[in-house]
Chains A and B, each alone.
Chain A
Amino acid sequence: MRKRQRRLSLAVALVAGLAIAATPVLAWQAEGGTKTCGSSLTGKTRARANDWASIKGPGSGTTGIYNWGDGLWHTQDRWGVDGGGDWNAVGDPYLDLVSTYAFCVA
């Protein structure tokens, strides 16, 4: 390989390595979707997360941040709005994807 090509390959490798090193490591898991409820029903998000969670109820405009700070798993419900809508949940570091969902309440 010519010197110029070798230097170029090394430069590319260096830049790629720096880019990877600078990329923040995601320390959480996420779930979300849309839950539509009848007009007389209210949406609710249930998240099962470890240590720290961000949760948005279906259709709600606010996000709740839950810092249990004990390294334990918690099941946390959060109200949405009548009729439901989009919901989200993040668990940091872990989220039980099977046990995290949205539902409708009378």
Chain B
Amino acid sequence: MFSLAVFLAAGCSGLPNPSSGASPRSSSEGVSIPVSQLTPLDRCMLDKGFRITKVRPAGATDAGSLVVEWESDLPFDTAASAASDCRQRFAPSRPKTEAEISAIYAAWVEERKCLIGLGYNPVAPPSVEKFVSDWQTGPWMPIDGIDTNAWTDEQYQEAKQRCGLEMYDRG
């Protein structure tokens, strides 16, 4: 079956290289995605005038699917409301179970150990009970206590490649 790739033109603000995830200040570049892989959520966002800026694999738990990031020149409130409308209709959130949250805690504890191995000194993790109870307001993360703002690009890439840190993207 022939799949037509949709080329989505870059805006004046510039688009990141989809493989590097660089900031929007990089040189303009289109992002193409096969039409057959556009989800109803993607189509809703495109219909509202958003442009796609990054496409990446969803990860091991949802192999084969894509996660898409978008951008808009609309005023923030308008853009956020439009995006929320698409989300509510096509991708409502599914609350995590306590077992799932506990598994995330265990994984993040290991990632913290990895960061220590790289020479960093992140804060100690809370108890798993505290982590679970904080889930709706903002739980502990492995990068807490590290001045990631001061990381060079090399330090950032090393930490991501060696320790995972899928929960952190510096844009």
- How far does the alpha carbon of A27 sit from the alpha carbon of B91 in the complex, in Å? 13
Total number of B residues with any Cβ neighbor in A under 8 Å: 49
Among candidates A30, A63, A90, A92, residue contacting B93 with C-beta atoms closer than 8 Å? A92
Is B45 interfacial (CB-CB < 8 Å)?
yes
> Given A92-B93, A94-B136 in contact, is the A65-B171 Cβ separation under 8 Å?
no
With a cutoff of 8 Å between Cβ atoms, the chain A residues found around residue B115 in the complex are none
* B41 partner residues in chain A, CB cutoff 8 A: 67
Smallest Cβ-Cβ distance to A29: which chain B residue: B137
- Closest residue of chain A to B143 (Cβ to Cβ) is A75
Residue B32 at the A interface, CB < 8 A?
Answer: no
Report whether A76 and B87 are in contact in the complex, using a CB–CB cutoff of 8 Å. Answer: no
Give the residues in chain B near A44, CB-CB below 8 Å: 171
Known A64-B53, A67-B67; judge A73-B84 contact (CB<8 A).
Answer: no
Q: Contacts A61-B13, A64-B70, A67-B87 known; A54 to B80 CB distance under 8 Å?
A: yes
A interface list, Cβ under 8 A from B = 27-28, 30, 32, 44, 46, 48, 50-52, 54, 56, 60-79, 88, 90, 92-99, 103, 105
